Structure 1
């Protein structure tokens, strides 16, 4: 169960196109800049928070979906992502405003004598002043494109935070149910060993068992009780983790958890043999990295445009009135201009350094995107391998559990009849307990692999058909 060779070849090809279309050399002033070819596959949950929680409704445990909802509502990580999204939205608005003229209103009132020989006068002026920087070299447009890409990255980051919180909550819930199953097993084992110890001590008291055998039975019972207490404490620790994730009252949460104690949730009718390579484009973190590359490419263009002349146009219109002894003057005033041109002549290399810095940030974003792509492939491959491994081991684990438990029942019957020693009974009990623990751990491992695959594919996936083909995105110019 892995990505097919053709799928992996597609990934490598995409990375190669990215390297060719957006190489560091393409950022030099004498060559045109180009944004990378990115995948724009829709998110599997279509960016809908309800769909993210709805994926967990496929499991046969409704409490899991409710806990995911609660965790997302209380997560400080999501709150921080929401704040970054609001900041990016405001930055895009500000960047877009640079392309439009500005208009300011002003009003003034003064009294005095402007020149010798003139009367004292009261002067009142109210008007509007307009200004506009002509974006002839595309600097403002590139800034707006960069801000738009940063906003898209922030949106993808918000979705990624939701998926991460959901996966973390699901992993904790699965761990709790597995811990409860192990705790029940430990409690049953401790009860059984206590009964054996009591019977052995009675037999030793009347001379049918040696004192050493009674001591062994008592030690075994004490060991089982200690293990049961330790397992219960571990489960309490996992409950504390769920309380921290969901911000629910611990007593209320414990009441909800008690309904399905020690029952691991099971996914309903979920089967994945392979994952198309394009499905990786659904990951919000990959989308975020891709938008960061686009933003960095646009920022390079903005830095280059800053090395060219700036052209601004200003104008004003106002109404003025002057009152003085013996008369009044009133009328409209207006100006058109100046049309100003600012040409960089000498800045000690500041603007060139800013272009170099923007190019370096582009290289950094590009490297991060490539690294995220490789990490995504590894995570999906690992999850599929884990699913395949747990499916392959399930039959043998079940057979081993059935066999060891049957052996334990037979040994217990023989021990009661005096045909088996306590040593044989303890050995059979240890084997059965180990097989039961391995079975529970296998179920937990399989569920964890499902959660890992959910996270690796960006919050679920669509198995009805292949995602849409990737489309190239041209750089802002």
Structure 2
């Protein structure tokens, strides 16, 4: 069943209430990717009295406009719950109410629009906080790649030291006493640069890059999960609305039966118990109608939850009653499995996790090799000197600079590197097993969804035949009861109940066919 076919069913729109909030940035754009990446590559302090500390903490919390829980260093238990049987009470200035912008941010419901399935999915991608979380995680992973690449660049520091001092030393004549006193300043620039590390930085960049691909594919899978949840709940809402329509039809049938029995009772052709049975059936039909209306409210709340908003604003949703249902499966299960293994984002995400573990293993091997780095500094030293006669007082102002090559090779560390390598090997093996397990699960999900769709196709076919037969049987029994009196009231009530069950069965089979078709699409990674 195509998206266009589902969206086309906009006759008889249904209205319910879901939440709307102010607009914000959309998260449905493609997740962040590394540069030039189109596929998965391998790549001494003064002490403060306790009372002053508490007062300052409370004052800071008040000034900042948020609750800060003071924890006295010598009595920390006073900040914990006072008893194992009494609830903890937050401070007076503590704020426990969630901001309204946390829910449903970035969406505005158009009260005049009729939302089809494609519109609802697009709405959910912008409104659901799960998609925003996955999006932000992908952006954070991209920033981690940049942090790892920064290790290839030198680091430059500016440092300065200044102050005043006095030191007197005795020197042989004619210098006499040599005194260093007064202010002194020593500003300098310090540069550090790793020149060679035998693959440490490359392995770190590769691992972070694979983590980025993992987060990006997880974001794509989250979009698919949200789309599937919206589809499932949308089909559930449509089925709930259809149950209301069927319950109303059943109530109308019950009223017709009651009127027919009442007419025969007036003619002396029916008994009082027959009339009471008909009235009982009418009351049952009215109860089932109210139950169906309550199910619609539950389905509305479920759809609103999958959209990522609260069920409080007016939204018009398209009806699916006129949409043509699928009649066959165009592909074999083997073809769908092959497509799923090549397209499912969760499989690609686990593959990226495996390659990240391989990069960690290379990083652990690189720790057995030396590291060569360059360090350099340049600065100015200013200091006042005073000596005995005849030299007097003078000020030193000199430029200082230096450059050094550092060679570091760890020879023994208590077998820490050996065990780190063993750990990396085991984690890589676990990632391989995890990938194999998720692949088997994907195959199982496709197989089950395919079988469910085939079963749903046959069930819906028989449900339609059952509905037609039940309707004809009810009409025939009603006519026979009203005209010739050949059918009893028990026969009529049984035919009415069979028709009601047939309506419910057809509605359930239709919703099951739509839901299983969406589940097959989700399992295939489409």
TM-score normalized by the length of structure 1: 0.76
Deviation of residue 175 (structure 1)?
A: 0.7
Alpha-carbon RMSD: 3.0
- Partner in structure 2 of residue 260 of structure 1: 319
- Which of 181, 197, 203 aligns to 2:258? It is 197
Matches for 1:63-102 after TM superposition, within 5 Å: 63-102=116-155
Q: Map residues 274-313 of structure 1 onto 2, 5 A cutoff.
A: 275=336, 277-313=338-374
Alignment correspondent of 1:40: none
Q: Contact (CA 8 Å) 2:180, 2:384: kept in 1 or not? A: no
Q: Distance in 2 between matches of 1:278 and 1:271?
A: 14
Q: Distance in 2 between matches of 1:374 and 1:411?
A: 54
The 5-angstrom pairing of residues 211-222 of structure 1 reads 211-222=272-283
Q: 1:264 to 1:299 in 2, by over 3 A?
A: same
Counterpart of 1:350? 416
**Which residue in the other structure is 1:439 paired with?**
506
Match of residue 376 from structure 2: 315
Tell me the residue number matched to 1:144. Answer: 205
State the Cα distance separating 1:289 from its structure 2 match. Answer: 0.5
1:326: how far off? 4.1
Rounded Cα–Cα distance in structure 2 between residues aligned with 1:398 and 1:435: 8
**Matched residue of 2:407: which SS?**
strand
Report the equivalent of 1:179.
Answer: 240
**1:387 equivalent in structure 2:** 453
> CA–CA distance in 2 between the matches of 1:97 and 1:115?
47
Deviation, 1:359, is 1.9
Q: Secondary structure at the match of 2:152?
A: coil
Tell me how far 1:387 sits from its aligned partner. 2.8
Is it true that 1:107 corresponds to 2:160 in the alignment? yes
For residue 200 of structure 1, report the CA deviation from its aligned partner.
Answer: 1.9
Which position in structure 1 is the counterpart of 2:407? Answer: 341
C-alpha deviations, 1:57-95, integer Å up to 9, x for none?
Answer: 587785222222222223232232123223322222222
Distance of 2:377 and 2:402 partners within structure 1: 5
- Distance in 1, matches of 2:5 and 2:313, equals 25
Aligned length: 404
Given candidates 465, 468, 471, the residue that maps to 1:405 is 471
Query: What residue is the counterpart of 2:103 in the other structure?
Result: none
Partner of 1:11: none
Question: Which structure has the greater CA radius of gyration?
Answer: 2
Q: For residues 123-168 of structure 1, what are the alpha-carbon distances to aligned partners after superposition, in whole Å with 9 as ceiling and x for unaligned?
A: 3232221112344321221111001100110111111111101110
- Larger fraction in helix: 1
**Which whole-Å CA distance do the structure 1 matches of 2:209 and 2:519 have between them?**
31
Answer yes or no: is the 8 Å Cα contact 1:171–1:451 preserved in 2. Answer: yes
Counterpart secondary structure, 1:250: coil
Report SS of the residue matched to 2:116: helix
Q: 1:248 to 1:268 in 2, by over 3 A?
A: farther
* Structure 1 residues without counterparts, runs of 5 or longer: 1-51, 459-477
Matched, 1:229 2:290: yes
- Is the 8 Å Cα contact of residues 180 and 261 (structure 1) preserved in structure 2? no
**SS of 1:175 mapped into structure 2:** helix
What are the superposed Cα offsets for residues 434-456 of structure 1, whole Å, 9 maximum, x if unpaired?
Answer: 33222222221221122112211
Report the Cα distance in structure 1 between the residues aligned to 2:8 and 2:425, rounded to whole angstroms: 46
Pairing 1:330–2:397 present: yes
Give the superposition deviation at 1:411: 1.7
- 1:358 deviates by 1.9
Check the 8 A contact 1:293/1:362 in 2, yes or no.
yes
Q: Residues of 1 paired with 2:269 and 2:205: CA distance? A: 91
Q: Structure 2-normalised TM-score? A: 0.70
